[in-house]
């Protein structure tokens, strides 16, 4: 048994008729792959399953099996009471699920399955394994606990989640266990090359243009050892609001600049709503900064948002928080030598 809570979650599933699954705001391949894998397993059990997201599904994730089952909803008007059980996936906090601040938790029973370092185990049942590289990896282990027969489509969904969150197995933390699971999913029919092609080699032209715009605005803080860029709504809108612009741009450049510890990308995706993606280069814990800004994530990849401020003031607030934490971190490094 990989997780003792697996049996508890399965017990709730067996009692339920209608089950809700989620993809978090701005869903990435791990969110979509995890949700669609779980959707397939639960429907095979005869359950009535609905998968929802607060922000719509990116085009780049629509190759994942059963991604068409994901519906965009407004959680402010959503009725959780229609469901007997909820499983919230790949979401370190409640507002990651709903994209709403101060929204009441559902009154029905719910489980949280996640791998983020900043997850506080906020579910009524929790399978939170912070050592795992992706939620899809955890779900593979949960399915093993349940004795699930993983077919080609389920394996493909899980492979998409793992490849998406590991950078095709290149990010720090990918070890023997992750590679073994990847091999097993390939044996079960998952096409690794197709997943890599769709995630990393199928980039819309407007996103390429966004990369150029974002990179033309890059600045370096040599004193505090980070790089950053910020893109206002007017520019983002002019380029047709490319999906996953912030996350993919930060993964491209924010963790590769020499003599830096980390980097980040800020994009004003709506007027008065600045979203930030952090990436670590050296093991600098970006999740600590994200938490200070109300977000969360991992050491190497995290995110946050600042709402209710004009673009320039929001950027200034982020930089103030980042510089304060970076200085504290670097000072501790110097004193420990």
Q: How far apart are CA 264 and CA 247, in angstroms?
A: 9
Closest C-alpha among 130, 171, 127 to residue 7: 127
Residue 121 Rama label (left phi>0; alpha psi -120 to 50; beta): left
Query: What secondary structure does DSSP assign to 120-146, as a single string?
Result: ---SSEEEE-TTSS-HHHHHHHHHHHH
Query: Token digits for 142?
Result: 């949960």
Give the number of other Cβ atoms within 10 Å of residue 267's Cβ: 27
pLDDT of 72: 96
Q: What is the pLDDT of residues 20-72, one digit of tens each?
A: 999 999 899 999 999 999 999 999 999 999 999 998 898 889 999 999 999 99
- Name the pTM for this structure: 0.90
Which one-letter DSSP state was computed for residue 19?
E
Domains and CATH numbers, the chain: 5-200 (3.90.1640.10), 205-336 (3.10.310.30)
Q: What local confidence, expressed as pLDDT, does residue 337 receive?
A: 63
What pLDDT is attached to residue 255? 92
How are the residues of the chain apportioned to helix, strand and coil, as percentages rounded to the nearest 5? 45, 20, 35
pLDDT of residue 194: 97
Residue pair 148/41 in contact (Cβ under 8 Å)? The answer is yes
Q: What stretches in the chain show pLDDT beneath 70?
A: 337
For 29-178, strand residue ranges (E) read 48-53, 70-72, 85-89, 110-114, 125-128
The pLDDT, as a whole number, for residue 66 is 98
Degrees, nearest 5: CA angle 209-213-216: 135
């Amino acid at each position: 048994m990989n997780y003792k809570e697996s049996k508890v979650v399965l017990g709730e599933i067996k009692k339920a008729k209608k089950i809700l699954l989620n993809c978090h705001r701005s869903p990435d391949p791990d969110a979509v792959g995890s949700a669609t894998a779980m959707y397939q397993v639960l429907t095979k059990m005869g359950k009535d399953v609905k998968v929802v997201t607060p922000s719509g599904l990116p085009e780049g994730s629509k190759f994942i099996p059963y991604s068409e089952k994901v519906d965009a909803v407004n959680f402010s008007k959503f009725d959780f009471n229609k469901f007997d059980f909820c499983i919230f996936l790949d979401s370190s906090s409640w507002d990651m699920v709903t994209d709403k601040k101060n929204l009441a938790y559902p009154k029905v029973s719910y489980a949280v399955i996640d791998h983020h370092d900043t997850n506080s185990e906020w579910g009524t049942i929790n399978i939170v394994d912070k050592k795992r590289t992706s939620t899809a990896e955890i779900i593979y282990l949960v399915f093993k606990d349940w004795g699930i027969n993983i077919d080609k489509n389920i394996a493909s969904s899980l492979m998409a989640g793992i490849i998406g969150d590991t950078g095709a197995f290149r990010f720090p933390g990918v070890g023997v266990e992750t590679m073994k699971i990847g091999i097993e999913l390939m044996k079960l029919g998952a096409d690794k090359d197709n997943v890599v092609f769709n995630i990393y080699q199928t980039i819309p032209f407007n996103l390429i243009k966004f990369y150029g715009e974002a990179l033309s605005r890059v600045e370096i803080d040599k004193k505090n050892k980070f790089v950053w860029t910020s893109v206002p709504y007017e520019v983002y809108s002019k380029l047709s609001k490319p999906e996953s612009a912030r996350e993919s741009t930060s993964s491209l450049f924010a963790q590769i600049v020499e003599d830096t510890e980390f980097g980040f990308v800020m994009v004003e995706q709506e007027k008065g709503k600045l979203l930030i993606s952090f990436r670590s280069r050296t093991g600098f814990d970006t999740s600590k900064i994200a938490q200070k800004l109300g977000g969360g994530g991992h050491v190497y990849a995290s995110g946050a948002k600042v709402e209710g401020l004009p673009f320039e003031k929001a950027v200034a607030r982020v930089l103030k928080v980042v510089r304060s934490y970076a200085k504290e971190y670097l000072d501790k490094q110097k004193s420990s030598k």
